[in-house]
Chain A
Amino acid sequence: MDNGNMIIINGNEIPFEPGETILQAAQRKSIEIPTLCYLKGASPTGECRMCVVEVEGARNLVASCAAPAGKGMVVHTESPRVVEARRLLLKLLLSSGNHNCAVRKSDDQDWTGFQLSVQKEDSSAELCPAWGDCKLQNLAYQYQVTGEQFPRTETPYPMETVNPFIVRDFSRCIKCGRCVQACCDIQVNDAISFGYRGSNTKVIAAGDRPLKDSDCVFCGECVQACPVATLMEKDARYRIRPWETEKVRTTCSYCGVGCQLNLHVKEGEVVQVTGVEEIAPNYGSLCVKGRFGFNFINAPDRLKSPMIKKEDGTFREASWDEALDLVAEKFKAVRDDHGPDAFGLLTSARVTNEENYIAQKFARAVMKTNNVDHCARL
């Protein structure tokens, strides 16, 4: 190894590729540096400064997500100076909006007043809907800070709920810009951007119109990218808490891209879908169908029992034994009386490889015909 391309992070010598950032080098060796605005796959903006580290010889702390690793650099990721800077940032962020989780303040009196104001603003008696699944809350907990030091800033923008999929609660926005990058740099739907200035900054769509009247295609990339509770799936909001669900990784059942997704299951029901990050083919991205089109799984009109048609043309429920015996008997009669080619089988682009294999094997080995096709070309 070329000794030149070495960086020392918390005393560990770490080799790096030219162009790699300090953060990337650290992550490769599982050294945690907290981030808020950094979004993998997009170019770093250096917006939040949560990822600052101390570089020996440098006057200021540097944002590790944007700063390239340099030869012989000596870096400290949790030095007292770094920790102090992060704590201050967190305090400012916690007071910058409606971050009404327990970490804001432990003082009971304030807490009650706080909850009252939450109710007013949120039309909800609950805590923040991201409670337990919020990067800001996690960091506040990790660095043991509350937002009590600074007066709370009120948000001038009302919540947006006028679309079927996404709730936008601007009172909790930390203006990290991850959603904008997710939309413009990852999905390239170019639907949202930062609008207005200073403390009035807001993530806007189409000149500050609701998402439904913009170029938004409801892919939900921004929701998955939002580290706090500003952007949430409408159906999941206040319905599920992260520790109540179990995640099962699988493959999307719509188009041929084959996105990898996590089905979040609560009490035997799929209640939310997220993209699996950092894995091909989709690296966390999904489209509106994959992310929001899962209600069919639990639809009340799913077929639940075999059905046999009666003389009058209506169906009656039947047991598996009755239905399968009937089918077996009829198929056998067709094969034996009219020849194998009087039977046809349409298998499916919707079912698994294993099921397609069994279907064609059934036609070929049992019915003895090659009359097997699927409708995928249709």
Chain B
Amino acid sequence: MTNTIADIEEADVILITGSNTTENHPVLSSFVKRAVKFRGAKLILVDPRRIKIAAYAHQWLRQNLGADVAWINGMMNVIIEEDLYDKTFVAERTEGFEEMKKVVEKFTPEYVEGISGIPAQQIIDAARMYAAAEKGTILYCMGITQHITGTDNVKSLANLAMLCGNMGIRGGGVNPLRGQNNVQGACDMGGLPNVFTAYQPVNNPDAVKKMEQNWGVSGISDKVGLKVTEMIPKAHSGELKALYIIGENPLVSDPDLNHAEASFKHLDFLVVQDIFMTETAQLADVVLPSACFAEKEGTFSNTERRVQRVRKAVEPPGEAKDDWWITWEIARRMGHETDQYTDSQKIFEEIRKVTPSYAGITYERIEVEGLHWPCPTTEHPGTPILHIGQFPKGRGTFHAIDYIQPAEQTDDEYPLYLTTGRVLYQYHTGTMTRKTQGLNEREGESFVEITPRDADRLKIEDGAMVEISSRRGAIQARIKISDKAVDGTVFIPFHFAEAAANRLTNAALDPVSGIPEYKVCAVKVSAAA
């Protein structure tokens, strides 16, 4: 997030898109609801499903799946056309406005209605509402990123925020909500194929040299590595021989699971380190037991870039160990004898040395309350709001972005769209939440959410078992007739391994981020055999 969670309550207008906020970020959603209920903030929701937060929205725009660039360009078209944009901000702090303007010209509300299914008048109203805000914030989640155009979608939202001067101010910003506790930290720490810690590029010779010096090694690769979605096909073709998976369960969370499973079986050697014998661990050659969050010391970085402490409350079961200990023990046994660590704080001290944005953060400083990076020195108070006064590279760039269709369209054989996501009572691949009986009691099995009309057309009753199939696979689940759904589209949560929605999803990738298009694919639904 460019801004903090508490900042949401300062906004005059909140635009939420692609985030089922009340179910996936419940505590954060309270900040939104309080802003609306008690502070008179206006809420615009753009989402294909009638999710709970829609009840608080002043405007709810229901777009066709994958039409995000279109409606965002449409809003900008109106804002430019009606001269509602922040000219000072655009002139002083941005570049590329003219190019962007040219592309946006054709996205008239009527044109956008044709693509997105959102009535032209609603686009005009939403544009006026957002542009009128002194402080407007944008919140988004996987509904924006999990498309082949995910990167385009994100850039488009940034365009919109800059156009209205909503960057670098309290109550503004463009705020991605991270789905998992430490996604932010995993990225900050260089758990990505193209960057070291703090996003220092691996193909920058100075960065490579810096790491080599700090780590006391030579020969660090300056070649960008493979993304997870690229590793899988390489495993299939035999180029990737060994895979070491820490704390993830890609065999429920990956797209097009049937293909992923076959690929993993082609590996010569698979090591999985986890707290449970997950679906993925079952395929491993060696499984290593690790400690869970309640059993270790360390830090997580939350979605607002706040680095917070994790503390040990109980002992890990049996022989389970801290993940860092296990990994480094493998290194040691491979003959890498430099840098021995005794505890997580020692590691954090090393992180500070090679990570400029974390350099000023210490365990002592975050004992009571976490700090927001960038925090370059121990005197620095941290940075709750990014881009005040200036962007990192000077001016913010507008990107001229055209609309592209989703990778897969419905047809006669697969006439319905499928979109996937989470429910309140379960989390991710369910490995943790499904151990709590009460959560299962509330929502314990997969379902297919469908509109009454579609169900009627298919002659399927509420609660009936159905088969859902796509070009890649088939699963069975129960029908849940719901007014959250939209005609022509079904929704399936992806938590449940036995009816894994990701046997259906499409592995078509965003060319930049490598994120698969989980949010759109074509399926058919029929009565279970």
A→B interface (CB under 8 Å): 163-165, 185-188, 217-219, 234, 248-260, 263, 265, 268-270, 279-282, 285-290, 292-299, 301-309, 315, 318, 320, 323-328, 330-332, 334, 338, 340-366, 368-378
Contact = CB atoms under 8 A, between A and B. Distances in A.
B24 interface: yes
A256 B243 contact: no
B528 interface: no
16 contacts: A251-B300, A256-B183, A280-B306, A296-B275, A302-B275, A303-B317, A309-B284, A331-B242, A331-B269, A347-B246, A350-B293, A351-B182, A352-B324, A366-B336, A371-B231, A376-B183
Nearest to B436: A295
Given A252-B181, A288-B424, A355 B275 contact: no
Contacts of A299: 276, 435
A369 B234 CA distance: 15
B438 A292 contact: yes
Interface stretch (B109-117, B164-172, B189-197, B448-456): B189-197
A268 B181 contact: no
Interface residues of B, number: 149
B27 A282 contact: yes
Contacts of A304: 289, 317-320
Nearest to A337: B241
Contacts, number: 458
Contacts of A269: 314
A327 B330 contact: yes
Given A345-B246, A356-B185, A303 B275 contact: yes
B248 A251 contact: no
B6 A343 contact: no
A365 to B, nearest CB: 5
B514 to A, nearest CB: 7
Contact of B196 (A359, A364, A377, A378): A364
B247 A294 contact: no
B342 interface: no
B383 interface: no
B323 interface: yes
Contacts of A185: 34, 38
B227 interface: yes
A372 B516 CA distance: 17
Given A302-B289, A351-B182, A352-B299, 20 more contacts: A164-B442, A248-B312, A251-B310, A254-B432, A255-B25, A280-B5, A286-B27, A289-B427, A292-B439, A331-B242, A345-B243, A346-B228, A346-B244, A347-B191, A348-B182, A348-B246, A349-B182, A370-B202, A371-B193, A377-B514
A280 B319 contact: no
Given A188-B34, A301-B277, A343 B26 contact: no
Nearest to B238: A342
B427 to A, nearest CB: 5
A360 B191 contact: yes
A311 to B, nearest CB: 11
A263 B314 CA distance: 9
B162 to A, nearest CB: 24
B28 interface: yes
B329 A249 contact: no
Interface stretch (B79-87, B343-351, B397-405, B410-418): B343-351
A217 B439 CA distance: 11
Contact of A328 (B334, B350, B427, B435): B334
B317 A353 contact: no
B122 interface: no
A287 B332 CA distance: 41
Interface string B138-182: 000000011000000000000000000000000000000111111
